Amino acid sequence: MIFGVGTAVCYLFFLLYDFNQVRWKSRKLHGAFALSCAGLLLLTAAACWKGQNRNPARLVPGGILALCFLLLLCYTLFFALPFEETYVRESRGRRVCRTGMYALCRHPGVLWYAGFYFSLYAALGGAPLLVLAVTGTVLDLLYAVFQDVWTFPKTFCDYEEYRREAPFLIPRPSSVVRCLRTLRKG
């Protein structure tokens, strides 16, 4: 129960961050994103601690997959975009990043987030990780829809054009090619 409620609270802070970026622009609320990430990190650590599986046949492949998805998630959120411009400065009127991971689809972080939590659950087992995987993925998907409909059209001057060229979540063969081609250039 605590893991589902905790995840929901973290996503409320993500929403608070978005509202602040678009409407209020309060310096005091800039930390809502970091606070939410820290909350998810603590919940994840606690859920891993409660994991019940110690079988290397599940632990090793699940752990390797989880690490790969975590690296993809961190790269996509914190390194594929200019950090300060994305998470610190006022966001109105910017242009969308259309290269690398963001050529793949508009919300690649949702894919990596789900992959990370379900791989972690496969590796360690336990109800808390399953709750984090299911609740977090559903909330992350809903958050991506919110951003796609409300936050990003108000933040990026060219978001409507980006919507037409990049799939929402499920990559197309052409977007995979564009992603790989632009990743190599970067």
pLDDT, position 83: 58
Of the pLDDT bands very low, low, confident and very high (cuts 50, 70, 90), residue 27 is: confident
Mean pLDDT for the stretch of residues 88-102: 78
The answer to whether 15 and 151 have CB atoms below 8 angstroms apart is no
pLDDT, position 89: 56
Evaluate if residue 94 carries a pLDDT over 80. Answer: yes
HSE-CB for 5 with a 13 A CA cutoff: 2
Q: Whole-angstrom Cα distance, residue 149 to residue 67? A: 31
Evaluate if residue 93 carries a pLDDT over 80. Answer: no
Under DSSP, is residue 111 helix (H, G, I), strand (E, B) or coil?
A: helix
pLDDT, position 81: 84
Domain positions in the chain are 2-185
Q: Whole-angstrom Cα distance, residue 13 to residue 38? A: 11
Evaluate if residue 88 carries a pLDDT over 70. Answer: no
Q: Whole-angstrom Cα distance, residue 86 to residue 94? A: 9
The answer to whether 170 and 105 have CB atoms below 8 angstroms apart is yes
Of the pLDDT bands very low, low, confident and very high (cuts 50, 70, 90), residue 184 is: confident
